[in-house]
């Protein structure tokens, strides 16, 4: 697999507070990568750096030119005045795509995510799970090279989260896109990811304490002994 993003000695401060300390890692094309760590370890800041919302104070980020990036937000961030259809089509409209193409692409996504029938509803009329599917649809309809997800399942209940994780895996396998997901759940990271970047909030050490390669075969049984062994291994790294 080819490398599409590289971070070298990346450092970020907010005032005097060091948030990212000497971060080094690559993102490979087509992989499912997770960023895991406790609150305040800088995983969301790292995501914002990768998205270009934050600039590094020191270090270097090399990114493949013309890489199309989209984001699924933790709290959905759907535009409340737009319907499901309009929310999903927002990015395409901004690109200036002809209406007939927008209609076709959005209709496909609505079917792929089981949202047909809800296309004329507004976000406040949707359940948490449906909102996040709209958020996912809004990101996927852009045909991204990298799909970033910021704790995408933390604002929905456990059953919905399980269904959404399954859906995300299906989409990743089908579309062969690169996925970078921030999560605070080690189990979630191990269930979904090829690699897990484990981060620490300890200011006396580098932000990344482990870059873990997941050897568990897919589909993964998250009740198996091997699965829990991997979870235990990563938990010791975080502590």
Q: Is 97 in the site for another protein (CB under 8 A)?
A: no
Q: Is 137 in the site for another protein (CB under 8 A)?
A: no
Count of helices and strands (H, E) across the chain: 7, 9
Residue span binding another protein (CB under 8 A) among the ranges 30-38, 75-83, 98-106, 158-166: 75-83
Q: Is 69 in the site for another protein (CB under 8 A)?
A: yes
Q: Tokens 């002809």 correspond to what residue?
A: 98
Of 142, 180, 181, 192, which one interacts with another protein (CB under 8 A)? 142
Of 1, 58, 62, 75, which one interacts with another protein (CB under 8 A)? 75
Residue span binding another protein (CB under 8 A) among the ranges 56-64, 71-79, 106-114, 220-228: 71-79
Please report how many Cα atoms fall inside a 13 Å half-sphere around the Cα of residue 89, on the Cβ side: 22
The residues near 188 (Cβ < 8 Å, ≥ 6 apart) are 34, 153, 161, 165
> Interaction with another protein in 33-62: which residues (CB under 8 A)?
51, 53
Q: Is 200 in the site for another protein (CB under 8 A)?
A: no
Question: How many other C-beta atoms are found inside a 10 Å radius of the C-beta of residue 97?
Answer: 16
Distance of CA 130 to the CA centre of its chain: 17
CB of 98 to another protein, least distance (A): 15
Q: Is 78 in the site for another protein (CB under 8 A)?
A: yes
Whole-angstrom distance, CA of residue 238 vs CA of residue 91: 37
- The crossing angle, in degrees rounded to 10, of helices 84-95 and 128-140 is 20
Instruction: Please give the size of the binding site for another protein, defined by CB under 8 A.
Output: 25
Of 32, 76, 172, 212, which one interacts with another protein (CB under 8 A)? 76
Q: 10, exposed or middle or buried, with CB in 10 Å at 0-12, 13-18, 19+?
A: buried
Q: Which residues of the shown chain bind another protein in the complex (CB under 8 A)?
A: 51, 53, 69-71, 73, 75-82, 90-91, 93-95, 122-124, 131, 138, 142
């Amino acid at each position: 697999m080819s490398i599409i993003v590289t971070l070298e000695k990346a450092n970020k401060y907010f005032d005097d507070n060091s948030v990212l300390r000497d971060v080094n890692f690559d993102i490979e094309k087509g992989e499912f990568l997770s960023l895991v760590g406790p609150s305040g370890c800088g995983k969301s800041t790292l995501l914002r750096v990768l998205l270009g919302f934050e600039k590094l104070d020191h270090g270097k980020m090399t990114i493949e030119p013309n890489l199309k990036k989209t984001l699924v937000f933790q709290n959905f961030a759907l535009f409340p005045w737009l319907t499901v259809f309009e929310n999903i089509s927002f990015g395409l409209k901004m690109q200036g795509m002809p209406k007939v193409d927008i209609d076709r692409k959005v209709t496909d996504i609505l079917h792929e995510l089981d949202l047909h029938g809800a296309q004329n509803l507004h976000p406040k009329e949707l359940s948490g799970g449906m909102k996040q599917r709209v958020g996912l649809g809004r990101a996927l309809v852009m045909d991204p090279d990298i799909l970033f997800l910021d704790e995408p399942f933390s604002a929905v209940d456990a059953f919905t989260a399980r269904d959404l994780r399954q859906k995300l895996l299906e989409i990743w396998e089908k579309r062969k896109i690169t996925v970078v997901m921030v999560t605070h759940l080690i189990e979630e990271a191990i269930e979904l990811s090829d690699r897990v970047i484990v981060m620490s909030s300890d200011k006396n050490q580098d932000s990344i304490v482990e870059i873990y390669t997941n050897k568990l075969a897919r589909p993964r049984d998250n009740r198996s002994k091997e699965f829990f062994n991997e979870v235990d291994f990563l938990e010791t790294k975080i502590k």
